[in-house]
Amino acid sequence: MDIKDFYYDLPQEMIAQTPLSDRTASKLMVLNRKTHEISHKHFYDICDYLNPGDCLVMNNTRVIPARLYGVKENSGGKIEFLLLKRLNIDTWEVILRPGKKAKVGSRFIFGDGLLCAEIIEVRDDGNRIVKFEFKGVWEELLDKLGEMPLPPYIKEKLEDKNRYQTVYSKIEGSAAAPTAGLHFTDELLEKIRQKGVKTAFVTLHVGLGTFRPVSVDNIEDHHMHSEYYEVSKETADIINETRKTGGRIVAVGTTSVRTLESVAAADGTIPVQSGDTQIFIYPGYKFKAVDALITNFHLPESTLLMLISALYDREHIMKAYEVAIAENYRFFSFGDAMLIE
C-alpha cells in the first residue's frame, strides 16, 4: 500500500490554532459503517450515539511540560530539548534541536544551572539518551523550567495550558495530548454514565512519533515508534464484562485503540498488562477489541489516518475528509471530532 493513498490537500487555515472555549461545542462527524451515511452533529450530541451497556475507554495520560530551553555548557549555544520517554529517575530519551553535532559527553545547562544534562548515548534515529543532574523534586523543577510541547503545526500561544490536557488526565508522562479526549467535560461524562454507559481508563504515554511523517513509500516498511502503556485489573474487568454482556467497546482516540489492540487476545479478551507497544495498524488489520472510535481529524499520510482507514476503509475515510474540508471542519489537535460507529 502506497503512502500517496493517504494524501489529501488541506488548506492551512483549516488547522485549528486555538481550542474552543466550550470543549463540547466542536463539530462531530458521524460515520455509520453499515449504511455509509455521514451525519453532522456537535460533540455534545455524542451521548445519542452511546448505548446503555457500552463501555467508553479513555487514555488518562497527562502531558508533561516536556520542552526545555537551555545552552551548551562551553559555547553557550542555544539548545532545545524535547523529553520523549523517561527511562529511570534521571535518564530520558530526548530530541535535540539543533542536535546533529551533539555527541556523547556534550553537556547542557537549563535555568541558570538549576538543571544540567549530559548526553550518554546517540540512538540510530538521532534521538539522544541524556542523564540529568538536579537538586530537589524533578516534577517541580520541570514545571518551573518546561513548556507545553504543542505540535509543530500550532503557531499560536496557548493561553491556558490545561486546555491541552483532558479533564480526566492523571498519570504524567506524555509528550503530546490524546486529543480526542479534549472534547469531554466532567458534566458530559456524568451524563454518559447516567445513561448506563460504563467508563474505563487505560494509560498510554504519547510520544512525538505520533507527529512524525511516514518517510517510506510502501507503508509496510514503516517502523513504528515505541510507547509505554498500562491496563489495570479494574479496566480489564470492565471491558471483559462489557463484551460478555454484548456491549460495544468505544475507544476515545487512537492511543486507546493502540493500547487495547496491543494487549487483546484473539477473542477480544483484555488482560492486565503493561509494557511498550510498537503496534502499527493499517488497512488489512483485523480488530480484536475495538468496536467504535471517537477521534479527531489527522494529518495527511500519517499513521493515525491509516489506523482509522483500517477500522472503516480507506475510500470512505478519504471521502469523509473531503466532506469535512467542504463543510469547514477544524483539523488536528484543537479541531473537531469524528465518530466511526
pLDDT of residue 203: 98
CA distance 1 to 220: 7
Query: Distances from the Cα of 219 to the Cαs of 5, 48, 76, 283, 297, in angstroms?
Result: 10, 36, 41, 10, 20
End-to-end distance of the chain based on CA atoms, in angstroms? 25
pLDDT of residue 152: 86
CA distance 31 to 142: 41
CA distance 17 to 5: 27
Collapse the DSSP code of 108 into the 3-class scheme (helix H, G, I; strand E, B; otherwise coil) and give the result: strand
Length of the chain counted residue by residue: 341
Buried b (16+ CB within 10 A) or exposed e, 139-159: eebbeebbebbbbeebeeebe
Measured over the CA atoms of residue 22, residue 143, residue 15 and residue 39, the dihedral's sign is negative
Instruction: Calculate mean pLDDT across residues 326-335.
Output: 98
Question: Which grid cell sits at 184?
Answer: 469531554
pLDDT of residue 104: 96
pLDDT over 90 (residue 226)? no
Query: Distances from the Cα of 210 to the Cαs of 1, 6, 57, 153, 281, in angstroms?
Result: 20, 16, 20, 13, 13
Q: What is the pLDDT of residues 69-117, one digit of tens each?
A: 999 998 999 999 999 889 999 999 999 999 888 999 999 999 999 999 9
Instruction: Calculate mean pLDDT across residues 127-141.
Output: 95
Instruction: Calculate mean pLDDT across residues 240-246.
Output: 98
Question: Which grid cell sits at 144?
Answer: 518551573
Instruction: Calculate mean pLDDT across residues 9-34.
Output: 98
Q: Are strands 337-340 and 27-31 parallel, antiparallel or unpaired?
A: parallel
Percent of the chain at pLDDT above 70? Answer: 98
pLDDT-derived band at 215, boundaries 50, 70, 90: confident
pLDDT over 90 (residue 211)? no
What mean pLDDT is reported for the chain?
95
pLDDT of residue 59: 98
pLDDT over 90 (residue 261)? yes
pLDDT over 90 (residue 213)? no
The burial of 279, by beta-carbon neighbours within 10 Å (0-12 exposed, 13-18 middle, 19 or more buried), is given as middle
pLDDT-derived band at 210, boundaries 50, 70, 90: low
Beta carbons of 55 and 70 less than 8 angstroms apart: no
CA distance 44 to 63: 24
